[in-house]
Structure 1
Amino acid sequence: MIITRLTGRLANQMFQYAIGRALSIKNNAEFKLDLYSFKEPPYWPYTINRFNIIINPAEQKEIRWFKKYHWKKGKFWFWYNRTIADRKRYADERQFHFESWILTLKDPVYLDGNWQSEKYFKDVEDVIRKDFSLRNPLSEQSKIFEKQIGGVEAVSLHVRRDEMVSNKRINDWHGVCSVEYYNQAIAEIAKRVKHPHFFLFSDDPTWTKENIKPPLPATYMPYNADHPEEDLYLMSKCKHHIIANSTFSWWGAWLNTNKNKIVIAPKKWFNTPKMNTQDIIPETWIRI
């Protein structure tokens, strides 16, 4: 049995699901989801179920069995749970970058972390893409945008602000991408793509329209707060991407199956320099 703990918003849930799914396939093991964090503050919305994922909730008694390995005290148990990878039961993420030992774990395992790198699930990417297809039909408005995106050389551009700006603590360590970054990324796309048409997605469309102004055809998308999975789908239908330092637009770009896609990503993912983000951006993407 492989259990993965889901927490945070949609894009975080997707990374957590993807590593658990990959490890369950590798081990030919049953795959379950720990959904209990959605019943606790800050009550993140459980939205990953809007995709065609495996929904197999773990029971409390199963979760407690795994957590006993995490809660045990003493030097021996610390050594046992941290060094014997093939017998490890409770796998908590030690650092932000890719940890290859995770992929050596044997059934049964409980996964607790963010796991933000495609290296954890690259070997089963076709399965992950299929799982992250929409469960329900698009809204009529999204169908109109999908048709528009399909008729041009579409480039998604994502601006994330929300609590990254309003919450000083989050802003200090995470931060947001600058207008200069977006202008450089737009210029880079213009050099590489003939007749691009930009589709700008943001949780702050007013600010985006006032500050990000591509000198090329552009469509400012309405913020679909109630159905983020539809915005993610529409992003993935664009041919190229300019992403923010955000896992949401990361997934929008990654789910695009265009083999010739150009993805521009920020070199600086966090304000905090001690965070090692070398593995979050796939090697074929361009960092500026």
Structure 2
Amino acid sequence: MEKRNNFSISMIIVKLMGGIGNQMFQYAMGRCLSLRKEEKMKLDKTGFETDELREYNLNHFNIVESFATAEEKKPFKKYQRKPGKMWYWYNHTIADSSKYAIDELFYFQPNILQLKGPVYLDGYWQTEKYFKEYEDIIRQDFTLKKEPTGKDMEIAKQILETNAVSVHVRRSDYVSNPVNANYFGTFGPEYYREAERIISKKIANPHFFVFSDDAEWVKKNIFFKSKTTYVNHNDASKNYADLWLMSLCKHHIIPNSSFGWWGAWLNRNPNKIVIAPKKWIQKPSVNTKDVIPDSWITI
């Protein structure tokens, strides 16, 4: 009989947090580790119970979906993050990093991939280097359970019939939240004009499909010389559909957003052009060198 409340049950538990793009990175990291070590992976979505802004979004995908019970998570409690001024010292001195792995960085930490269960993954893991070796499986996991209908299929048809370039403009909390505005920052018309200039030199007759969480601002401020379609029929509850539409485009212009990142990464076109910001985070001391895949163009 399996014992409870100790580490005799070997598994990988992944903490989910943030928006859909963040959750996809977290899942991909856990999935890769579970495949590498041939161990069961379970998801921990309990953080969304007290999150008024975010919710669990991975249920729309063909993922390996199994949730950790309170009993299974209990042994990890003594290792979890400690809030307050001393949390950094605690997490890096007392907490057992072989049992509770924390990612506070934006660059690849290869030692994480050597961990074996039981382990709890708490972080954002925002680089493909964690799951590149299993990218075909990850892409399959992130296919939709149900084929979109209606307006989504109408836009999809337009995308497939043109030299489509997805353009993602992230604003929302990057503008309204002072902390996020200072840490992440936003990219204005100049960034998108430069991206258009680069794209237009490389492909003929681009058709820009613009996705944003601030459609009104975008229509007044972001303009392209070539044909443009503003895709704004879906609300936040259908973010997965917008992500799917973005992935159908042949090329991409993205901001410093994990949502835009996944829209570009899921595109299987081997000749795709992806324009991304060189400065992913505004804070100079934060190393984000591994966020952008080598084949993408940064400006």
Give TM class, smaller chain: over 0.9
CA separation of 1:37/1:43 partners in 2, compared to 1, >3 Å: closer, same or farther? Answer: farther
Q: Spell out the pairing of 1:126-137 with structure 2 (5 A cutoff).
A: 126-137=136-147
**1:178 offset after TM fit, Å?**
2.1
- Paired residue secondary structure (2:292): coil
Corresponding letter in the other structure for 2:136: D
Contact kept? 1:67, 1:90, Cα under 8 Å: no
Aligned partners of 2:203 and 2:270: how far apart in 1?
A: 14
1:235 pairs with one of 221, 246, 249: 246
Aligned partners of 2:69 and 2:94: how far apart in 1?
A: 28
CA separation of 1:128/1:136 partners in 2, compared to 1, >3 Å: closer, same or farther? Answer: same
Cα deviation, 1:80-138, whole Å, max 9, x if unaligned, reads 724xxxxx111111422111110111122110000000000000001100000001220
Cα deviation, 1:146-184, whole Å, max 9, x if unaligned, reads 000000000001101111111222111111112111000
Contact kept? 2:80, 2:95, Cα under 8 Å: no
2:43 pairs with one of 33, 44, 65: 33
Aligned partners of 2:269 and 2:16: how far apart in 1?
A: 29
Is 2:93 the partner of 1:78? yes
Aligned partners of 2:199 and 2:100: how far apart in 1?
A: 43
- Paired residue secondary structure (2:96): helix
Aligned partners of 1:118 and 1:28: how far apart in 2?
A: 20
- Paired residue secondary structure (2:111): helix
The equivalent of 1:176 in structure 2 is 186
Contact kept? 2:79, 2:95, Cα under 8 Å: no
Corresponding letter in the other structure for 2:93: F
The equivalent of 1:19 in structure 2 is 29
- Paired residue secondary structure (2:168): strand
**1:269 offset after TM fit, Å?**
1.1
- Paired residue secondary structure (1:274): coil
Q: Percent identity?
A: 48
Contact kept? 1:164, 1:176, Cα under 8 Å: yes
TM-score, with structure 2 as normaliser? 0.90
Contact kept? 1:37, 1:43, Cα under 8 Å: no
1:49 pairs with one of 59, 64, 68: 59
The equivalent of 2:114 in structure 1 is 104
CA separation of 1:55/1:251 partners in 2, compared to 1, >3 Å: closer, same or farther? Answer: same
2:124 pairs with one of 114, 125, 134: 114
The equivalent of 1:188 in structure 2 is 198
Corresponding letter in the other structure for 2:125: W
The equivalent of 1:8 in structure 2 is 18
Higher alpha-carbon deviation: 65-74 or 238-247: 65-74
The equivalent of 2:5 in structure 1 is none
Higher alpha-carbon deviation: 197-206 or 58-67: 58-67
Q: Spell out the pairing of 1:133-172 with structure 2 (5 A cutoff).
A: 133-172=143-182
Aligned partners of 1:71 and 1:141: how far apart in 2?
A: 43
Aligned partners of 2:285 and 2:262: how far apart in 1?
A: 24
Aligned partners of 2:211 and 2:263: how far apart in 1?
A: 11
The count of residues paired between Structure 1 and Structure 2 equals 282
Aligned partners of 2:233 and 2:185: how far apart in 1?
A: 20
**1:71 offset after TM fit, Å?**
7.1
Unaligned stretches of 5+ residues in structure 2: 1-10
Is 2:257 the partner of 1:246? yes
Q: Spell out the pairing of 1:51-70 with structure 2 (5 A cutoff).
A: 51-70=61-80
Aligned partners of 2:125 and 2:80: how far apart in 1?
A: 18
Q: Spell out the pairing of 1:261-272 with structure 2 (5 A cutoff).
A: 261-272=272-283
CA separation of 1:153/1:115 partners in 2, compared to 1, >3 Å: closer, same or farther? Answer: same
The equivalent of 1:210 in structure 2 is 220
Corresponding letter in the other structure for 2:285: K
